Amino acid sequence: MSIRIKIEILVAPGCSSRQQTETLVADLLTGAKIEAGVETMVIENADQAEEAGFLGSPSVRINGIDVEVAARDRREFGLG
């Protein structure tokens, strides 16, 4: 049985940390020899932020769970 891993990187338009985050995630996966789908989503507006549960830029989720433990219970969605 294989486990499917989905990684989402959520960013605001023009996020200065986007490239660094994408590279870090790719390097970690390569180093750990893990194959996973990685998708970067640009959150353009407040409606998208609320729909996606976007907490700040960048945000990284593995199988829908934010990697930042403190962010998991937050509910202040938005771009700013």
Provide the pLDDT for residue 18. 97
Task: Decide if pLDDT at 39 tops 70.
Answer: yes
Model confidence pLDDT, tens digit, residues 42-74: 999 989 988 888 888 999 999 999 998 876 666
The answer regarding whether domain 6-71 maps to CATH 3.40.30 reads: yes
Whole-prediction pTM:
0.85
End-to-end Cα separation, the chain, in angstroms: 41
Cα distances from 76 to residues 25, 31, 34, in angstroms, run 25, 34, 32
Q: Give me the residue spans of the domains in the chain.
A: 6-71
